[in-house]
Amino acid sequence: MAEALVFYVRPGFEREAAQEIMAEAANAGIEGFVKAKPESGYAVFQAHEPGGAGTLAEQIDFAELVFPRQMVRDAILVADLPVGDRTGPIVAAARERGTQFMGLHLDTPDTNDGKALASLIRPLMPHLDKAFAKAGIVFDQARSPDRLNVFFIGGNACYVGVSSLANGSSWPMGIPRLRMPRGSPSRSTLKLAEALNVFLTPEQAERRMQPGMTAVDLGAAPGGWTWQLVQRHMKVMAVDNGAMDPALLETGQVKHRREDGFKYRPPEPVAWMVCDMVEQPSRIAELAARWIRDGWCKDTIFNLKLPMKKRWEEVQLCRERIDHVLGEVPARLRMKQLYHDREEVTAYLMALDPDDHTRS
């Protein structure tokens, strides 16, 4: 069977991932098709021509993809694994991809069936370790930039391929391991925490979110996103007609304005605007773009609540609305469906220097 590209996705968003992957293939001039079973938690691209999937993997910038959580390239389906020796075919497929890898990931889809499958394949790990060692396959971070991924889609079938830190997620299965922090007034805080990890390197976060900077949180109540900003020692203007968590107000870093987030204007420019308001995605997209265009903030992270149908089309529409509002103002846009997102995607819009007209 031809090698493929395997993408891990949020269950229920396979169609949107397939549309995005096919758009990437069309832009790269590569013909092929995507297999994406609803609620399966993954999508598989196969090219019509040999080597096409590998070429597409080289063309894709994973950081710019919206719906995939992880990309596994050079993947081959190993089916009908014998019950008595499941390690043999897996090791043989791995050797075809090399003998030195950064690490080994045994993955499953992020579904109920996948979770049950994970408990079944976990005992396989020590047997695989022995089989890999016997076959001369070494796992050493210093020797390779690639990880070996064994992605089980059933008890007797898996894809064997590789992923990289340079063009993929650093988290196993693309899922961050974030704990609900004590003191945060809502679980939405994890959404912003993940977004900051996805969109900013530690160095960028340190430079762009310095203590004492001012941020505006539109639709702040009860304060899950505000809490993240306070933890970074920023001053926050929390804008919401609802009540804020009293503990946040007692920090002295938060001021509460009972006002409509669409009507609020900062008295002076601020460093950040964040927004998790429940509203039509196009309205939120235009609002965020206006904040950048008019110089009210330099960085903004905002959520786009997607409709039940035509979600990929809605994402594209929001991109177009943002470009239209920005006009000639240089800015960089990235979008991602985060693990902590549901029927939504999170976007990051960053103002660029006037001399830098790079726009994704």
Active-site residue (options: 255, 305, 309, 336) = 305
| SS3 of the chain | CCCEEEEECCCCCHHHHHHHHHHHHHHHCCCEEEECCCCCCEEEEEECCCCHHHHHHHHCCHHHCCCCCEEEEEEEEECCCCCCCCHHHHHHHHHCCCCEECCEEEECCCCHHHHHHHHHHCCHHHHHHHHHHHCCCEECCCCCCEEEEEEEEECCEEEEEEEECCCCCCCHHHCCCCCCCCCCCCCCHHHHHHHHHHHCCHHHHHHHCCCCCEEEEECCCCCHHHHHHHHCCCEEEEECCCCCCHHHHCCCCEEEECCCCCCCCCCCCCCEEEECCCCCHHHHHHHHHHHHHCCCCCEEEEEEECCCCCHHHHHHHHHHHHHHHHCCCCEEEEEECCCCCCCEEEEEEEECCCCCCCCC
Could you confirm whether 305 is annotated as catalytic? Answer: yes
Active-site amino acid positions: 305
